[in-house]
Amino acid sequence: MHTSHEGPVGRLAAFGNQLVEVHLWLREELDRLVAGEGGGGDLRAHCLAFCSALERHHVGEDTRGFPAVEEDFPELGPALELLRRDHEMIAGILARLAAMAGRPGEERLAGEVAGLAAIVTSHFAYEERTIVEALNRLDIPEWREDPPEFLRVYG
């Protein structure tokens, strides 16, 4: 068990708050991508960078974050399973985007990015409503010293 009954010891221990910060950064990057901004004006390069960051984030949640939450909060199991299914669906979209980014036709790429934005926005909102409080109650010293991939901002 990793739960702290006193809540997070300090700001760095508030893993749920860190997750929200990562989501905010990913949302900002996604908004820039939808608007065609960033990446030196190269939509394809920016798309590939964003897709890689989102994939790393979700793989980290699936392999480290969700198992830790589920260990201490088994009642969240069904919600975590829905989030894992979302991750699988989003991974499929990211793979399509990566394939499209290697081909001409930014209009199609922009349309797919807009669709991804709608799904990811909803996914993040559900995830935050569902697990932030539980993450904030976790006390995992090694995460404070070396945050797992899903709690890192790459920007």
Residue 3 belongs to some domain of the structure? no
Residue 139 located in a structural domain: yes
Entry field: residues in the chain: 155
Own/partner pairs for 68-76, CB < 8 Å, 24+ apart? 68/2, 68/138, 68/140, 69/131, 69/134, 69/135, 69/138, 71/1, 71/2, 72/1, 72/2, 72/3, 72/134, 72/137, 72/138, 73/3, 73/134, 76/130, 76/131, 76/134
Q: Which domain holds residue 67?
A: 11-150
The total number of structural domains that make up the chain: 1
Is 4 within the bounds of a domain? no
What is the share, in percent, of the chain residues with pLDDT greater than 70?
86
pLDDT of residue 16 exceeding 90, the answer is yes
**Is pLDDT of 38 > 60?**
no
How does residue 5 score in pLDDT terms, banded at 50, 70 and 90? Answer: very low
| Global confidence as pTM | 0.87
Residue range 56-94, pLDDT digits in tens: 999 999 999 999 999 999 999 999 999 999 999 999 999
Q: List the CATH number of the domain containing 67.
A: 1.20.120.520
- Residue 11's pLDDT is 44
Name the more confident of 79 and 96.
Answer: 79
**Structural domain includes residue 113:** yes
